[in-house]
Structure 1
């Protein structure tokens, strides 16, 4: 079978989404058996609304109610709904969290949705594995991506800095790029999940492993990762604002030319271009963690049959391409220039040649607060990287089951 990663770079299917008509939503309280409640993260709401409108026009007896979610509240909101049995019909959730719900039996096995119209072979390597357990698929990914290096070429040229290709070069460049007017880099240390993923990429580069969705870490790799992230913050090469911002905040620092480079997604490039700031991308100095977003149908979905039909509509190549700001999970959806053009080249190379799917077991979620605490403690100069890594390893041995 030809590699999915090779096919992704050469996919030639046209992507067109024609949406017309008026938007209307009917609340679940209206009592309509044909209402479908769809939980959508706020960054996808605009296009999701267009897709809902298109589906309603094809199915005039059905109404789609969109409920907006946010990145910070989503895990708690979904977990509470699934545990209580009072659920929507379709949920957009992070792919790496799906198996936690599958283990509890609160989401539907969607394996039977794959076939001629949606072959499993049409999905990018790693995307279906992330949402599968014991041979069954519990969600359908529509987006699959990872971060890469984003930099301001003018600021690097002015400082005489080459694009870094190793982490040692990245740290050295961060120092050299730091001036009285701006810092060299920034980290999303204001949000634990964002910060933990930065740590995880560095840890994997240093010898930690992710296998079959499970993580094992080494103390040496943790110490190195913590020192690169926390140490650059402690030493002043990373923006002081790092301690308060998430991924979007880091991008905004770049847009305001308060930093010269950072690790960010393909979805960051267009907003930066829109504000007129010089931007280029490159493969990061080491591997990055791949993850995505997927459609889940709760086991207690009130309109399970309608939900399946709606998800089938959403996962067509053209609709999948329309909703994602990075890379669609289906190879046949990836022909649009947004995914194949020069702006996307570095992120595509990162995704297909130097990325590792995120841990999908619940143990990683339990460890995230400890990773975050370790990074914060070094960034604030409360302890050194060796001590932070030792404490983290002790907790990891308990939560993950040891190296």
Structure 2
């Protein structure tokens, strides 16, 4: 009787295990058929959904890019989310990354922000992929985007910074298109081009100093051999004084306070013939080629960025490569995101060329990119000066200063520009705050 009971128990256990095994098998099959399993883990039938965050308006190329990809890759569908590339927009992206919102791929537009995201664990170390040689594809400029000698993002476009000029105004004033000049030269040009209804020269407040003395500090170094700040060197003072004079002495540039309080759209001012020269970059093409919203009757010429002084022989030009695209380290679909990123870099990004985003990859169609850039508007540009800018093999740099230092020095510079403190106090405060930062780090 006892043996009979044991046998019945064993039969019961075996039956239960059989049922559980069947349920488990059916449950796994259900997961795979319902799309819950990751394509990275071997299921070829699932439709993977990726979200790509970038700063370019969807209608300016990104939507066409993802539509083309989605048509060619039915099993990997990409949705584009636009974030504005400013302080609030970057905070929105960082919050999404930190809180686990849907972000698989994201664009980085400055090295300090990429470094911050790599340090926080948000950007994936791309060295785990060995089927794409970033240095070979993008050239030596790619190294400027490496963080601790590793790539956490793939730089995808040629970064072009230069000065936009009203060619008709130059011709009327009898001025040639500059090929090598200084801030003092800029001021002289601006005086000749300024009218009662048009400013002579301006740049975006954020770029005002980065494009001048940082071109030398990138070579000299931001920190001295003794570990203290190098932000007090004469070239910093010279650049601040020259920019200040254009705003307040010769009054050829709109003051920063006016730009910020009126939310002045400098691109619209330039295209509307209310600003003769704009220190900017290739992104302005997005609006310059939009004659419906920004009609203009003048031709645009292009000049390289100005140095601070003629003696600034170590000057490097802000440029190199840009639009560094990263993969979220927490994405469930890293391999699929990588496939999209390679395709994007090698030519998928071409629909953005009309807005000035020229692919950096040697495998992208450069001739097609230039054709898209100008379209049927060649008569609206001084093509000779544009080709000179595009073909210039000038030494370039990326801003490597930590974002916190950029912000603190910007605070002090703005106080000087709005007459809230003297130039001496500005330099002293910047050096002091930078040294405090260095002690903390």
Structure 1 length normalisation: TM-score? 0.78
Structure 2 residue aligned with 1:18? none
Alpha-carbon separation, structure 2, partners of 1:245 and 1:281: 29
Alpha-carbon separation, structure 1, partners of 2:332 and 2:385: 42
Structure 2 residue aligned with 1:83? 98
Residue 122 of structure 2 aligns to a residue whose secondary structure is coil
Contact 1:226 1:374 in 2 (8 A): no
Residue 358 of structure 2 aligns to a residue whose secondary structure is coil
- Cα 1:54–1:333, aligned 2, differ >3 Å: closer, same or farther? same
Residue 257 of structure 1 aligns to a residue whose secondary structure is coil
Structure 2 residue aligned with 1:20? none
The answer on 1:347 being equivalent to 2:363 is no
Residue 382 of structure 1 aligns to a residue whose secondary structure is coil
Q: C-alpha displacement at 1:400, in angstroms?
A: 4.8
Contact 1:266 1:344 in 2 (8 A): no
Q: Give the superposed CA RMSD.
A: 3.3
The answer on 1:208 being equivalent to 2:224 is no
Cα deviations by residue, 1:323-358 (Å, 9 ceiling, x for unpaired): 3423322133252265497464243255x3042122
Alpha-carbon separation, structure 1, partners of 2:208 and 2:144: 19
Contact 1:229 1:375 in 2 (8 A): no
- Cα 1:163–1:342, aligned 2, differ >3 Å: closer, same or farther? closer
Structure 2 residue aligned with 1:14? none
Q: C-alpha displacement at 1:138, in angstroms?
A: 0.9
Cα deviations by residue, 1:214-271 (Å, 9 ceiling, x for unpaired): 8953342221222222331123110357622999922211111112112121332464
Contact 1:182 1:239 in 2 (8 A): no
Contact 1:33 1:303 in 2 (8 A): no
Residue 363 of structure 2 aligns to a residue whose secondary structure is helix
Alpha-carbon separation, structure 1, partners of 2:351 and 2:264: 21
The equivalences for 1:11-160 within 5 A come to 34-43=48-57, 45-72=59-86, 73-96=88-111, 97-115=113-131, 118=133, 120-126=135-141, 128-160=142-174
Residue 306 of structure 1 aligns to a residue whose secondary structure is helix
Alpha-carbon separation, structure 1, partners of 2:385 and 2:261: 25
Q: C-alpha displacement at 1:198, in angstroms?
A: 2.7
The equivalences for 1:149-298 within 5 A come to 149-164=163-178, 165-189=181-205, 195=206, 197-205=207-215, 207-209=216-218, 216-235=230-249, 236-240=251-255, 243-244=259-260, 249-269=265-285, 271-272=287-288, 274=291, 275-276=295-296, 277-286=298-307, 287-290=316-319, 292-298=322-328
How many residue pairs are counted as aligned between the two chains?
360
- Tell me which of the two structures has the higher relative contact order, counting C-alpha pairs closer than 8 angstroms and 6 or more residues apart: 1
Q: C-alpha displacement at 1:210, in angstroms?
A: 5.1
- Cα 1:265–1:61, aligned 2, differ >3 Å: closer, same or farther? same
Residue 135 of structure 1 aligns to a residue whose secondary structure is coil
Structure 2 residue aligned with 1:25? none
Cα deviations by residue, 1:37-80 (Å, 9 ceiling, x for unpaired): 11122435542222212222222233222222111233212322
The one of 310, 321, 335 equivalent to 1:305 is 335
Residue 336 of structure 2 aligns to a residue whose secondary structure is helix
Alpha-carbon separation, structure 1, partners of 2:185 and 2:271: 23
Alpha-carbon separation, structure 2, partners of 1:305 and 1:233: 51
Structure 2 residues without counterparts, runs of 5 or longer: 1-34, 39-45, 224-228, 308-315, 372-382
Deviates more, 1:222-231 or 1:294-303: 222-231
Alpha-carbon separation, structure 1, partners of 2:423 and 2:214: 17
Structure 1 residue aligned with 2:31? none
Residue 155 of structure 1 aligns to a residue whose secondary structure is helix
The answer on 1:319 being equivalent to 2:335 is no
Alpha-carbon separation, structure 1, partners of 2:176 and 2:170: 7
Q: Which has the larger radius of gyration?
A: 2
Deviates more, 1:268-277 or 1:55-64: 268-277
Residue 333 of structure 1 aligns to a residue whose secondary structure is coil
Contact 1:144 1:326 in 2 (8 A): yes
Contact 2:303 2:385 in 1 (8 A): no
Residue 93 of structure 2 aligns to a residue whose secondary structure is helix
Residue 39 of structure 1 aligns to a residue whose secondary structure is strand
- Cα 1:387–1:211, aligned 2, differ >3 Å: closer, same or farther? closer
Residue 186 of structure 1 aligns to a residue whose secondary structure is strand
